[in-house]
Amino acid sequence: MSTFTTADGTEIFYKDWGTGRPVVFSHGWPLSADAWDGQLRLVAEAGFRAVAHDRRGHGRSGQSWQGNHMDQYADDLAELLEKLDLRDAVLVGHSTGGGEVARYVGRHGTGRVAKAVLLGAVPPLMLKTDANPEGTPVEAFDDIRAGVESDRSQFYRTLSEPFYGANRPGNKVSQGKRDEFWLQGMQAGLKAAYDCVEQFSETDFTEDLKRIDVPTLIAHGDDDQIVPIAASALKTAELVKDAKLKVYPGGSHGLVGDFEQAFDADLLEFVKS
């Protein structure tokens, strides 16, 4: 397995496929780099170097007690880019991974970055506040924490339904796809999974987004039941200077079916441009 050890002693697993210009993927909660396998293969076969890591506490990475917060996630990503000496990279983040990409730029700049892709991403702020009335009430995130704490196995099985839009009429989401979500979720440590809920829901990425000064593709399904588009992509597109917004009609939060095929085509076009 390919791993490196961070400054605080946490072992981070990563995949490194192909050669060429690097495309670096950050995954959503509570998943792992495996969630990006289709896209990793896609870009590697197109002549790019595809890299993805398991966030600390998730997948095959070390389950540190400390450091399960957005600043550390961004610093871990920075250490990965430095370890592999990746330059002129395209950073791609889904959901929580989109927050990780934004915070990376906020803390480390774009010296190693040429482009960014934010898919179904949590910025600028998921939580409903007086200043962010389109956000999600804190009670919803309290329910997520309670589910993770009490019976995370059943909670992940249940969550996979809205995650992929399997509760929508006419959906073609397979049980295998939902089982894949469950399996990756169960690889995440309880401490990391629990702590990360606060990070993806309550972190304000507004200032990070304003620091993104490279071409950025903001991609979002308009039927995203996990990260509703009104509080996320529509606002992010107004904050990022050089942003292109792509909305997928009927698209869910997780990549599946026609939504995945459409995004794959847009991703490949964007990284090639």
Other CB atoms within 10 A of residue 151 CB: 12
Distances (CA, A) of 110 to 43, 103, 116, 250: 21, 11, 10, 33
- Checking if the pLDDT of 81 tops 90, the result is yes
Q: Is 253 a catalytic residue?
A: yes
Other CB atoms within 10 A of residue 162 CB: 17
Query: Per residue in 109-138, pLDDT tens?
Result: 999 999 999 999 999 999 999 999 999 999
Q: Residue 25 phi/psi, 5° resolution?
A: -110, 135
Average pLDDT over residues 98-104: 98
Cβ–Cβ under 8 Å, residues 118 and 98: yes
Which one is catalytic: 64, 95, 160, 252?
95
- Checking if the pLDDT of 102 tops 80, the result is yes
Residue 59, pLDDT score:
98
Rg of the Cα trace of the chain? 17
Give the Cα separation of 221 and 228 in Å (integer): 9
Give the Cα separation of 143 and 208 in Å (integer): 28
Residue 157, pLDDT score:
98
Tell me the pLDDT of the chain averaged across its residues.
98
Which one is catalytic: 58, 224, 232, 252?
224
- Checking if the pLDDT of 212 tops 90, the result is yes
Does a cis peptide bond (omega within 30 degrees of 0) precede residue 249? Answer: no
Average pLDDT over residues 245-271: 98
Which of 198, 58, 204 has its CA nearest to residue 141?
198
Sorting pLDDT into bands at 50, 70 and 90, what band is 53?
A: very high
Sorting pLDDT into bands at 50, 70 and 90, what band is 169?
A: very high
DSSP 219-273: EEETT-SSS-GGGTHHHHHHHSTTEEEEEETT--SS--HHHHHHHHHHHHHHHH-
Structural domains in the chain plus CATH codes: 3-272 (3.40.50.1820)
Name the percent of the chain lying above pLDDT 70. Answer: 100
- Checking if the pLDDT of 105 tops 90, the result is yes
Half-sphere exposure of 192 (CA within 13 A, CB side): 26
Residue 192, pLDDT score:
98
DSSP 176-218: HHHHHHHHHHHHS-HHHHHHHHHHHHH---HHHHHT--S-EEE
Q: Which two tokens stand for residue 243?
A: 């942003």
Give the Cα separation of 165 and 258 in Å (integer): 12
Which one is catalytic: 27, 58, 220, 253?
253
Q: Facing residues of 136 across strands? A: 127
Centroid of chain to Cα 64: 20
Q: Is 88 a catalytic residue?
A: no
Q: Is 108 a catalytic residue?
A: no
Average pLDDT over residues 168-182: 97
SS3 of the chain: helix, strand, coil, percent, to 5: 45, 20, 35
Name the percent of the chain lying above pLDDT 90. Answer: 99
Residue 1, pLDDT score:
75
Give the Cα separation of 60 and 56 in Å (integer): 8
Average pLDDT over residues 63-81: 98
